[in-house]
C-alpha cells in the first residue's frame, strides 16, 4: 500500500491566515524551520495507479498539484477513485466542492455523516447539477474497497467507531446518533500492510489499543499538545477535549498510549497551528520524537 500525507495541519492550515501566534509567526518568517502545512488529507493506493482520498480538505486542489501521481491521465481524467470521509467537519469535506468537475464522485461515509452532509450542508442539492454523487457505506467489518467502476482496488476498508458530536453547523443532526466520527482501517490484501487513520480522536477507548497494535502505520490526531492550549492563548474558552480532540500530553494523553505501542510508524497529523510540536527545536517535539513518534509533514510517504 502506498500512503501519501497530502496535508497534515488542522483546520485553517499552518500558518493560519488570521493568526499571529508564536508558531504562525515563525512559519511566516522562517518557513525552513517551521514548515508550512496544508489541511489534513491523505492519499492511499494498492497499485500506485488508482488512489483514494481520506477526507477532502479545502486545500485539495493544491495538494493534487503537489503530487504528480494524482495528475490527470489522459485529459479530463483522474486517478482518484473515491473519497473516504471520517466525519463531516468542514476541514474534511470542503474539498468535495472543488472536485465537482469529475463524475461520478464516489463518497464513502457512515449513514450519520451522509445525513449531516445532505441535510445540514445541502451537499447533494449544491453538487447534483455538476456531478453524479455515488454514496457508499463505510463498513464496520473489513470489506473490499471498490474502484469507481466497482472492481476491486486491492484494499480492504473498515470503519472504527469513535465517540464524537456533529459539526457545529450540523444543527439538524442529533448528538445521540452514532457514526458522527470514525477512524479508518485500510489493509493491503496482497501484503497485509495495514494503515489506521484517526485524525479526530476525542478520547482513547480501551478497544483502540488492540486496533493500533495490528497496524504498520498509525496516523493519529495531533491537534493540541495540552488540554488548556487554546484557553492559555486566549483563543477559546473550551478545553481540547471539549473541542473534540484528545491532547497529546498528560497522563491520559495520546502520547502515553503511543509509547506502549510497537507500531512501526506512529505519526501525528491534523496538527493545530498552536501546537508547539510544529517547532523542531521545542521540548514538546523532542518528547514526541523520543517516544518513537513522528510529526507529520506534507509530502511524507510510506509503503506498507
Question: Which of 58, 42, 68 minimizes the C-alpha distance to 220?
Answer: 42
Q: Are 44 and 3 in contact (CB under 8 A)?
A: yes
pTM: 0.95
Contacts of 207 (CB under 8 A, 6+ apart): none
Q: Which residues pair with 267 in a beta bridge?
A: 219, 294
| The predicted structure's pLDDT at residue 178 | 78
Q: Which residues pair with 135 in a beta bridge?
A: 107
Take residue 226 and report the three cell numbers written for it: 495540552
For residue range 55-94, what is the model confidence (pLDDT) as tens digits?
A: 999 999 999 999 999 999 877 889 999 999 999 999 999 9
Please determine, for residue 171, whether its predicted confidence score (pLDDT) is greater than 90.
no
| The predicted structure's pLDDT at residue 280 | 96
Q: Are 183 and 85 in contact (CB under 8 A)?
A: no
For residue range 225-261, what is the model confidence (pLDDT) as tens digits?
A: 999 999 999 999 999 999 999 999 999 999 999 999 9
| The predicted structure's pLDDT at residue 165 | 86
CA atoms lying within 13 Å on the CB side of residue 135: 14
| The predicted structure's pLDDT at residue 50 | 97
Domains annotated for the chain, with CATH where assigned, are: 2-303 (3.60.15.10)
Handedness of CA 274, 261, 45, 139 (dihedral sign): negative
* pLDDT, the chain, mean: 95
Please determine, for residue 176, whether its predicted confidence score (pLDDT) is greater than 60.
no
| Percentage of the chain exceeding pLDDT 70 | 98
Amino acid at each position: 500500500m502506498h500512503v501519501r500525507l497530502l496535508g497534515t495541519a488542522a483546520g485553517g492550515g499552518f500558518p493560519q491566515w488570521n493568526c499571529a501566534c508564536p508558531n504562525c509567526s515563525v512559519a511566516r518568517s522562517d518557513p525552513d524551520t517551521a514548515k508550512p502545512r496544508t489541511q489534513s488529507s491523505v492519499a492511499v493506493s494498492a497499485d500506485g495507479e488508482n488512489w483514494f482520498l481520506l477526507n477532502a480538505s479545502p486545500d485539495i486542489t493544491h495538494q493534487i498539484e503537489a503530487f504528480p501521481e494524482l495528475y490527470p491521465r489522459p485529459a479530463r481524467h483522474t486517478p482518484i477513485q473515491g473519497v473516504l470521509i471520517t466525519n463531516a467537519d468542514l476541514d474534511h469535506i470542503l474539498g468535495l466542492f472543488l472536485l465537482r468537475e469529475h463524475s461520478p464522485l464516489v463518497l464513502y461515509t457512515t449513514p450519520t455523516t451522509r445525513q449531516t452532509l445532505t441535510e445540514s450542508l445541502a451537499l447533494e442539492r449544491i453538487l447534483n447539477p455538476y456531478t453524479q454523487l455515488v454514496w457508499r457505506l463505510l463498513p464496520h467489518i473489513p470489506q473490499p474497497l471498490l474502484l469507481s467502476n466497482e472492481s476491486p482496488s486491492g484494499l480492504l476498508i473498515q470503519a472504527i467507531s469513535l465517540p464524537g458530536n456533529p459539526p457545529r453547523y450540523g444543527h439538524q443532526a442529533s448528538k445521540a446518533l452514532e457514526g458522527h466520527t470514525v477512524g479508518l482501517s485500510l489493509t493491503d490484501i496482497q501484503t497485509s500492510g495495514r494503515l489506521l487513520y484517526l485524525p479526530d480522536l476525542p478520547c482513547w477507548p480501551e478497544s483502540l489499543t488492540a486496533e493500533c497494535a495490528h497496524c504498520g502505520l498509525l496516523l493519529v490526531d495531533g491537534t493540541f499538545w495540552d488540554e488548556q492550549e487554546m484557553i492559555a492563548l486566549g483563543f477559546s474558552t473550551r478545553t481540547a477535549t471539549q473541542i473534540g480532540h484528545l491532547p497529546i500530553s498528560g497522563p491520559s494523553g495520546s502520547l502515553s498510549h503511543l509509547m506502549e505501542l510497537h507500531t512501526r510508524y506512529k505519526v501525528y497529523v491534523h496538527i493545530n497551528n498552536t501546537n508547539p510540536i510544529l517547532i523542531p527545536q521545542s521540548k514538546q517535539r523532542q518528547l514526541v520524537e523520543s517516544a518513537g513518534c513522528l510529526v507529520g509533514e506534507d509530502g511524507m510517504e510510506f509503503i506498507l
